[in-house]
């Protein structure tokens, strides 16, 4: 019989990542004081509910030669953003795309599409493809290149007071 652990305990045990050992769930379960099978059942439930999207590797784009990373931003007609956003989001070179609120007057853009490439020229060429699709529904655009990763840890829960 194993004691009760909360989802929060499980997330805390997993947030730094899974150990790269042959039986990673057994290793994490041991740390939590529960059975491997119980932990896997709990993780399966968290995947079903969407709390865990997937268990996978997060790569460093820069180290893969994807040194150009452009956050393209667009001021798109609100009446057409859902239709056009779906088209932009489906482009193979767009890794993620969102509608976000504008912050007028400083920030008129409401569509964000992240474009990765091996050079700035490649990213610019892809950006022009997006511009062609948006056509006259687009009233303004910009691109922000990332020059440094300042932090990349993923979700971290704050420690609860004992």
- Give the span between the Cα atoms of 90 and 92, in whole angstroms: 6
Residue 75 parent element (H or E): strand 68-76
Kindly report the number of other CB atoms within 10 A of residue 102's CB atom.
12
Subset of residues 39 to 98 that bind another protein, contact rule: CB under 8 A: 40, 43-44, 46-47, 49-61, 63-64, 66, 71, 81-82, 85-86, 88-90, 94-98
Of 107, 131, 139, 140, the one binding another protein (CB under 8 A) is: 107
CA distances from 32 to 43, 46, 128, 139 (A): 13, 17, 51, 54
Subset of residues 130 to 149 that bind another protein, contact rule: CB under 8 A: 142, 144-149
Nearer to another protein, 1 or 150 (CB): 150
Q: Which positions ≥6 away from 47 have C-beta within 8 Å?
A: 53, 54
Of 3, 6, 22, 136, the one binding another protein (CB under 8 A) is: 22
- Tell the smallest beta-carbon distance from residue 43 to another protein (Å): 6
Nearer to another protein, 3 or 151 (CB): 151
- Nearest residue to 58 via CA among 87, 17, 99: 17
- Tell the smallest beta-carbon distance from residue 128 to another protein (Å): 18
- Tell the smallest beta-carbon distance from residue 133 to another protein (Å): 13
Nearer to another protein, 86 or 139 (CB): 86
- Tell the smallest beta-carbon distance from residue 155 to another protein (Å): 4
- Nearest residue to 69 via CA among 5, 126, 11: 126
Q: Does 3 bind another protein (CB under 8 A)?
A: no
Q: Find tokens 């040194």 and name the residue.
A: 67
């Amino acid at each position: 019989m194993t004691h009760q652990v909360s989802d929060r305990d499980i997330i805390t045990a997993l947030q730094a990542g899974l150990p790269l050992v042959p039986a990673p769930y057994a290793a994490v379960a041991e740390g939590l004081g529960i059975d491997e099978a119980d932990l896997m059942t709990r993780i399966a439930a968290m995947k079903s509910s969407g709390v865990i999207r997937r268990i996978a590797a997060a790569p460093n784009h820069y180290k893969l030669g994807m040194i150009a990373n452009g956050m393209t931003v667009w001021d798109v007609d609100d009446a057409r953003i859902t239709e056009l956003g779906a088209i932009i989001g489906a482009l193979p070179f767009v890794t993620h795309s969102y509608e976000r609120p504008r912050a007028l007057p400083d920030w008129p853009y409401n569509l964000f599409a992240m474009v990765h490439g091996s050079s700035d020229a490649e990213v610019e060429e892809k950006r022009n493809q997006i511009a062609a699709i948006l056509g006259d529904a687009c009233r303004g655009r910009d691109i922000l290149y990332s020059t440094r990763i300042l932090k990349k840890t993923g979700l971290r829960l704050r420690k609860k007071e004992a």
